């Protein structure tokens, strides 16, 4: 098991290195740089000497390979660099937004698992009945309608019908005002959780239905095992691996999928910071935020792999 964890960590390091290369290259393919983004059309009035001085000041005049390894080495040492737009340390800029995004992702994931496992178990235990039909309807809505459409509709409905939009008061942390914070987080989390819950619900339903047709399940029924023990000890636990797999995948995508929802609900998370930094060509911030999202995705997948060995001992030899 320990060797497996080491192999996964090495694989994670290689993946993150590849991601960092892709991030760096893609950003350099965008038109303009920090100088043109900050000066706009006025950049065309600069002399060659002035433009060279500004490129050196912003660190964009160095060769690309030198810029990449300089950024990578600083990142590995814990220094995310300095924002080209605000001249503040990137680690300071991403601190509070990271907490907002993590809180949003955590609440959305909890709601998604509750929706997915709840409707999935009910639908698998009593297929074809009205609770199963409701769950299937929820899954169709969650999978067919993009989160930004659901979020926009929810904001419009709440604000126009009930004149209710908690984020209009400005974001507050949980420690400052727990009740207002939960109101500001709940609706964007609900928006994200519908898509998560839909995927988990379909996986749960299919996995439990498959397990319910196996021989050991029929044997348990024949021995008179109680319904509660049959459902949770025999069906749910033996269907847990695909449920955990899908939940891990959804959580990984969720970390990067908050970008648009944070914009819609005016949450000062990493998503809004990423959008504004792209507009400003603030490469250090964009690179750091994107790498944070990628790291979260890779770490979640590694934790899911480790969790497999706990749930299913047969995977420990792989």
For tokens 């969650």, the residue is 142
- The residue that leads in pLDDT, 316 or 82, is 82
Could you read off the pLDDT of 241-280 as tens digits, one per residue?
888 888 888 887 787 778 888 888 888 888 888 888 887 7
Domains of the chain in start order, with CATH, are 2-76 (no CATH), 95-279 (1.10.3720.10)
Per the document, the length of the chain is: 318
252, 271, 294, 302: which is closest to 75 by C-alpha?
Answer: 294
- The residue that leads in pLDDT, 232 or 42, is 232
Percent of the chain at pLDDT > 70 equals 88
pLDDT at residue 257, rounded to an integer: 73
pLDDT at residue 127, rounded to an integer: 82
CA quadruple 66, 67, 72, 75: dihedral, nearest 10:
140
Taken in order 118, 119, 124, 127, is the CA torsion positive or negative? positive
pLDDT at residue 187, rounded to an integer: 92
Q: Do the beta carbons of residue 171 and residue 184 sit within 8 Å?
A: yes
Average the pLDDT over 21-36 and give the result: 73
Percent of the chain at pLDDT > 90 equals 8
- The residue that leads in pLDDT, 198 or 79, is 198
pLDDT score of 209 more than 80? yes
Task: Give the model's confidence band at 124: pLDDT under 50 very low, under 70 low, under 90 confident, else very high.
Answer: confident
Could you read off the pLDDT of 141-200 as tens digits, one per residue?
888 888 888 888 999 998 888 888 887 778 888 888 889 889 899 999 999 998 898 999
Backbone dihedral angles phi then psi of residue 89, each to the nearest 5 degrees = -60, 135
Q: What is the pTM of this model?
A: 0.81
pLDDT at residue 81, rounded to an integer: 76
Taken in order 257, 258, 264, 268, is the CA torsion positive or negative? negative
pLDDT score of 220 more than 60? yes
pLDDT at residue 190, rounded to an integer: 92
* Residues 197, 119: Cα–Cα separation, whole Å: 9
Task: Give the model's confidence band at 60: pLDDT under 50 very low, under 70 low, under 90 confident, else very high.
Answer: low
pLDDT at residue 189, rounded to an integer: 92
Q: Any idea what the Cα angle at residue 172 is, between residues 169 and 178, rounded to 5°?
A: 110
Burial of 271 (C-beta count, 10 Å sphere; 0-12/13-18/19+):
buried
pLDDT score of 107 more than 90? yes
For tokens 């209710």, the residue is 164
φ/ψ bin of 97: left (φ > 0), alpha (ψ from -120 to 50), beta (otherwise): alpha
- The residue that leads in pLDDT, 64 or 72, is 72
pLDDT score of 111 more than 90? yes
Task: Give the model's confidence band at 285: pLDDT under 50 very low, under 70 low, under 90 confident, else very high.
Answer: confident
pLDDT score of 18 more than 80? yes
DSSP 318: -
How high is the mean pLDDT of the chain? 81
Report in angstroms the alpha-carbon separations of 289 from 114, 275, 286, 299: 29, 10, 5, 15
pLDDT at residue 186, rounded to an integer: 93
Burial of 4 (C-beta count, 10 Å sphere; 0-12/13-18/19+):
middle
What are 89's strand-pairing partners? 82
pLDDT at residue 290, rounded to an integer: 86
């Amino acid at each position: 098991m320990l060797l497996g964890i080491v192999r996964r960590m090495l694989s994670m390091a290689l993946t993150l290195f590849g991601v960092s290369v892709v991030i760096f290259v893609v950003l350099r393919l965008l038109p303009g740089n920090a100088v043109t983004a900050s000066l706009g059309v006025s950049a065309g009035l600069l002399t060659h000497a002035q433009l060279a001085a500004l490129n050196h000041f912003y660190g964009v005049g160095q060769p690309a390979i030198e810029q990449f390894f300089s950024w990578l080495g600083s990142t590995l040492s814990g220094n995310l660099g300095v924002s080209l737009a605000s001249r503040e340390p990137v680690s300071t800029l991403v601190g509070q937004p990271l907490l907002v995004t993590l809180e949003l992702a955590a609440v959305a994931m909890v709601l998604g698992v509750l929706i997915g496992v709840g409707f999935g178990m009910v639908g698998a235990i009593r297929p074809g009945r009205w609770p199963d039909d409701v769950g299937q309807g929820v899954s169709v809505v969650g999978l067919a309608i993009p989160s930004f459409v659901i979020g926009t509709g929810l904001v419009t409905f709440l604000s126009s019908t009930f004149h209710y939009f908690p984020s209009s008061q400005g974001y507050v942390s949980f420690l400052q005002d727990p009740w207002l914070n939960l109101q500001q987080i709940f609706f964007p989390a609900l928006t994200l959780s519908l898509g998560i819950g839909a995927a988990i619900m379909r996986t749960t339903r299919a996995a439990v239905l498959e397990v319910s047709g196996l021989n050991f399940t029929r044997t348990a029924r024949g021995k008179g095992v109680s319904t509660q023990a049959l459902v949770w000890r025999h069906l749910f636990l033996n269907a847990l691996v695909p449920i955990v797999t899908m939940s891990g995948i959804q959580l990984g995508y969720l970390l990067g999928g908050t970008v648009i929802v944070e914009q819609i609900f005016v949450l000062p998370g990493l998503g809004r910071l990423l959008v504004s930094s792209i507009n400003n060509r603030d490469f250090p911030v964009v690179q750091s935020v994107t790498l944070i999202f990628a790291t979260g995705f890779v770490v979640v997948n590694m934790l899911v792999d480790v969790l497999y060995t706990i749930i299913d001992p047969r995977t420990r030899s792989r």
